[in-house]
Structure 1
């Protein structure tokens, strides 16, 4: 009887050992059960929550803020145009908590309306001085005790072919004269230049025109002083860069294909023509769809090479800026040799954002979301008020390709997932059951 009791006790001990082994295996695998299917870097979202907020936007740029001011203005750059929607509806400014900052957008088109102030002038004196002729004009103010302010002169030209190099001087009293600018006046086969840009706005009440080498004794009886305020508003929106282009020579014409992958808003094209001598060529400008884009001026590229001076017009200015991805210039050579195009620069117009630098920094500009609609903020209703406020100029950092939170989840082994864990547990449990059953059955 004692031997039988010892045998039963031994059998129970072996069962307890096997059960304990199973429990130990389950205990060892339990951490996988607790964390199965969870990313190991789950806490990373708390640290970098600002960077992964709004993952539907593909790109971002850090906004480099200047000294604190009530409002800040930010000009976009070519990288933004390349990655954003064509109409810029997907632009957003985000602070470090993922909150959007209200802003409004301004473009040069809003300032492109030409505001001219016109002053008439009277020729009060002319005199011959050697081979040159002096013409003195007195400007008529718009009202008594109101300053005269102008930045361009328009002269009435003789109805004959001529080319004269001129100097322009200004005076407050008609006695002491100060040099301002020089330039060419001409009327050559219908190609006319009758204005002189002053480069800045001046308050002179008197102007003196010196027509050098005026052998034909040409006269300029009329002068108009203008103040063009459009230039001062739009200068900050203009940028220039070398164009990416290719030239194709076809029968009696030259085609220049200009690539604009960033969809910049191109407002001008400046051709560099090599060689010497005079030429005239008619041109046309098309977009990538073959639509004709009207251009300012006579529709000609020309260079008139004279003995003493050279005048040229090799710029193409579209009537309206174009953001087409491809532009095409067609130059009609007729039976002349093609022009030697040595280079081409494009001028493009920028847009700017105006906003209050609020929220936790750094601020970021988000762009690259085809599904986004244009935002509507109350700040746009206060544009006129903000225009009178002092604004600091911000900059943009390098473009960053943003990743969604799902893309940040590290890759895990198959057994760290919930399915893998269940398979392991079931397999181990079956093995233990089979092992224990065989042992118990044998005994």
Structure 2
């Protein structure tokens, strides 16, 4: 019995070693295709839009069979992200009119503010700088700001205070009041502080004050404790950047098939492209129809409605009048169906022109080791890569300095070829040995239990 137990323990330990054997690391030939990336400048990180060929060659919808290799064939950490469809432009600065308010400590701030006002020819109230006589007992009480001229109010997010660099070692809570006519003032809800502190070689500066969305034209700035504020050299308004629609790539669909039902058209994308919109252009002039777009990721799956609307292509007094765009939530489905309402004759005999708008992923990777680098894709063996956050902890400005987009993208080339897209069926002696050991161990355990039970019965007898 002892020998059998020793054999059983040895077999289980050996089978555990088979289970624990690490999986073979991915190599370049485990992928069907690759694209060479040649850096144009030295940088720790690089970023580029994912080439269209990658979408055509991957086997996974999540792009999990994509890897980066350096010149020595070692894997590199990478990150994929989808850029927003609408991007905010950078903020801008513009100076505002700044008027110091000098007066005695008991003087009415209202009267001090009105000293700079005048009426324009259009009847508007504005401020202008005047050379005023300042008495000896007058001190700086605060500042009067005019945020903008004219009728249209700019999209102001904040104001930015400027003072002389030698003015350090202060922190002042501020009172902000707003007015449209310089006579009726109301407090701004947001708390405000200006500060310039230095300690152990470090300098902490707080000069920006956030403003509510609908701030009035005039702002009066004073200290909460009534003392004289630090002398300002200028005040800038921070104007919000306007939203800009990201430019998209365009794919012209060359193969469109008519469906079984009248008004149905089917087409397929070459890969799982992140689609953001489509243009459906009628083939015949003076066509106005209502259409619906459907998609699915698998040919056997049910259709999902993505968008609908009217499209038309008209000629009015020899002037083209068109509406062909359909917006939709971003999707990476490959199979599409266009359904056209047949009221009014549909699209006629001529097939429509379909243009797909899509926004590629942004690929970032760490440039470890020497180049050229290789973007490999298309593999049945590769599993989804663990998500990596390469630039967490860095500010947007630091990220801009660390990441270079100066990189040349080569043409697709074959690595493992189509064979890498299928799982190779081969005899795995380790797997068969493992199963054999487990089955034998199970039989031995059963035999040992049966033998022990027989001995117990004999002892009882």
Using the size of structure 1 for normalisation, the TM-score is: 0.49
Larger Rg: 1
Using the size of structure 2 for normalisation, the TM-score is: 0.47
